[in-house]
Amino acid sequence: MRDFYGITLANGLMLGTAQYPSPAILADAFKRSDASVATVSLRRESGRDRAGQDFWALIRDLGVHVLPNTAGCHSVKEAVTTAHMAREVFDTRWIKLEVIGEEDTLQPDVFGLVEAARILTEDGFQVFPYTTEDLVVADKLLQAGCEVLMPWGAPIGSGLGLNNIFGLRAMRAHFPNTPLVIDAGLGLPSQAAAAMELGFDAILLNTAVAKAGDPALMAEGFAAALRAGQLAAQADPMTPRDMAAPSTPVIGKAFLS
């Protein structure tokens, strides 16, 4: 697996921490999947409840890498300010950069994304940009200093899987040395396996696990699928063909008609 800003992950499963039925189930999902990265966010804290403090203790105990996001940010300034706040709270230079451009699809505003990525990388951040499979945008992000790309599989929370296999395959071919993460849109482990078979380095998901009837079991399923897809990619898969080709040797077959 390719490194993520010099960090070699134990596996390519990055798991979100939102929408679980309970903190205990969240922890169980991480335990059973052995996910190596937890995505987290920042939200308004109440001085009376201090709910964020308990959550942070839970995440710290997981012993995984923490990837804060700028979810919900719609402008460059908002995303950059949130990133600075996240760096201080989580004590990491990693930031999952989201600059949302459209409400129905939560599609990234790629123009704002590139601008924010440049500002943040110049300020020492290690940016994980939530982007599309657009090769030109991807190239601009790399020029802005990003060393990882995170194209969407499908709109966030949709569970539709890999909407544009051709575009994702082209991205892998175009950037052979860049760590690529499928971020968002996965609904089933088979889709994660497909992503890894395409040669992607990791997947980032949340809703598919958190909203499953048994989140921990689904997390384990994703981990197994990810491993299967990764092995398949390493094994150099056969080339598909349109017509049948007998797998059983025809030489030596008895003449019985």
**By the criterion CB under 8 A, which residues form the site for other proteins?**
16-20, 26, 39-48, 50-53, 55-56, 59, 68-69, 71, 77, 81, 84-86, 88-90, 156-157, 184, 205-207
Measured CA to CA, the distance from residue 15 to residue 27 in angstroms comes to: 11
Q: Nearest approach, Cβ of 179 to other proteins (angstroms)?
A: 19
Token pair, residue 27, equals 């922890």
CB atoms within 10 A of CB 31: 13
Of 68 and 199, CB closest to other proteins:
68
Q: Nearest approach, Cβ of 205 to other proteins (angstroms)?
A: 8
Of 67 and 193, CB closest to other proteins:
67
Measured CA to CA, the distance from residue 175 to residue 16 in angstroms comes to: 26
Of 112 and 199, CB closest to other proteins:
112
Of 199 and 215, CB closest to other proteins:
215
Q: Nearest approach, Cβ of 41 to other proteins (angstroms)?
A: 3
Q: Nearest approach, Cβ of 173 to other proteins (angstroms)?
A: 28
Q: Nearest approach, Cβ of 86 to other proteins (angstroms)?
A: 7
Residue 96 known to be catalytic: yes
Taking a C-beta distance cutoff of 8 angstroms, is the pair 128, 99 a contact?
no
Of 108 and 157, CB closest to other proteins:
157
HSE (side-chain half, CA atoms, 13 Å) at 203:
37
Query: Per-residue DSSP letters for 130-181?
Result: EE-S-HHHHHHHHHTT-S-BEE-SSSTT-----S-HHHHHHHHHH-TTS-BE
Query: Among the options 31, 96, 140, 211, which is catalytic?
Result: 96
3-state SS assignment for residue 202: strand
Helix (H) / strand (E) element for 231: namely helix 215-234
Residues marked as catalytic: 96
